Amino acid sequence: MIDLRLLRDDPEAVRASQRARGEDDAVVDAALTADSRRRGAIAEFERLRAEQKSRGKDVARAQGEEKRALLAEVKGLADRVKAAQAEADTAAAEFEALLGRIPNVVEDGVPPGGEADFVVLEEVGAPPQLPEGLAAWRDHLELGEALAAIDTERGAKVSGSRFYFLTGVGARLELGLLNLAVAKALEAGFTPVITPTLVKPQVMAGTGFLGAHAAEVYRLEEDDLYLTGTSEVALAGFHADEILDLSGGPLRYAGWSACYRREAGSYGKDTRGIVRVHQFHKVEMFSFCRPEDAAEEHRRLLGWEREVLDAVEVPYRVIDVAAGDLGSSAARKYDCEAWIPSQGAYRELTSTSNCTTFQARRLGIRERQGADAGGGTRPVATLNGTLATTRWLVAILENHQQADGSVRVPEALRPFVGLDVLQPVRPLPAP
């Protein structure tokens, strides 16, 4: 949740953030009104409770008729205290519900608008030339089927639409990619983690995934657990209700997990191949740092993402995502989008988000401040970023395809895949 002091001290900044996201800024005033009511109700409860305690002492000292009168007064006061406590609880619940509807306040400089209003920060590499002898680019599924690497028909037979098998060199390519990502993470000082993929509701809610995107999350009702769509969720919960020592710098983790997304609302979109699927694997960076270091840490995460993209030799661009396309937890997000030749378009491969203290406030993750800052605790900042995922195979296969249907393995991947070239084992249509 957002910083309550910011809401009280600078509500216009919160209103401006809401407008940049394309959301209703009236919730800000509603939350302020509820906060005022809550504080008033708490003050009245505490006043009556203090009076009740004082009268209780008077009763203990009184005798006879005075005592009987005081007992009757105290009984009436107890009823008022009970009613005041109920009012305070109701006001607090109303305020918490309204505060929970306000997404993170976007950083200064984030482009306003929706999905199409991103700003391109940089383009890296040029789209490849169509191999001589080909009339058109083969897409990743045509290549994957010829390589016996991707099997969507059997995936649908076993699990339904948007599921698939990676077989043979397809499995080797994904494992090689993910292991390359882990190797890069280790070089950068990350702690590798294999995370749970089922989490409790409070962890899923704490990371902000049960808001506007709740329909995309799988839930196991009988167990009251959620399947995670990213290891960000489990990694955020890793230090829930803890006080961290960040004196040595950020705590950085690289989580490897299967990920599950219902893809609600995406019917008819990217149904071919493995661009938008219900299950995939990912290596995700996650960082806990001091709030004042979060912006610089965000740039570091973007840099590490770009190192892996450079290693697999695909053209890509870096975009500053518009406010209306941010998740509720993110104050800023940078995406790296790779060129997909068969589509003639850039498609997202990585995202890195600065969630500032939004998730940490919900999950109770704090750091202890030094004596010069009063020695108390404060929420930490959390950040996340994709280091590799199954979708990358789309860009790798298409950008490195050759006229005969083979696919060149990027040099950095070869030690992890064990092959220099992926050769087709099934006939391809004539080019």
Nearest to 350 by CA among 313, 391, 297: 391
First to last CA, the chain: 55
Q: Residues 401, 149: contact at Cβ < 8 Å?
A: no
Nearest to 198 by CA among 223, 162, 177, 175: 223
Residue of 38, 252, 261, 306 marked active site: 261
Residue of 297, 332, 391, 398 marked active site: 391
Q: Is 329 a catalytic residue?
A: no
Residue of 94, 123, 216, 348 marked active site: 348
Q: Residues 184, 387: contact at Cβ < 8 Å?
A: yes
Nearest to 262 by CA among 393, 161, 115, 359: 161
Query: What tokens does 359 get?
Result: 């998730």
Q: Is 348 a catalytic residue?
A: yes
Q: Is 261 a catalytic residue?
A: yes
Rounded to 5°, the CA angle 314-315-316 comes to 110
Q: Is 39 a catalytic residue?
A: no
Q: Is 36 a catalytic residue?
A: no
Residue 286, CA distances (Å) to 202, 251, 298 in order:
19, 8, 10
Q: Residues 198, 262: contact at Cβ < 8 Å?
A: no
Residue of 231, 287, 342, 351 marked active site: 351
Q: Hey, which residues are catalytic here?
A: 261, 276, 348, 351, 391
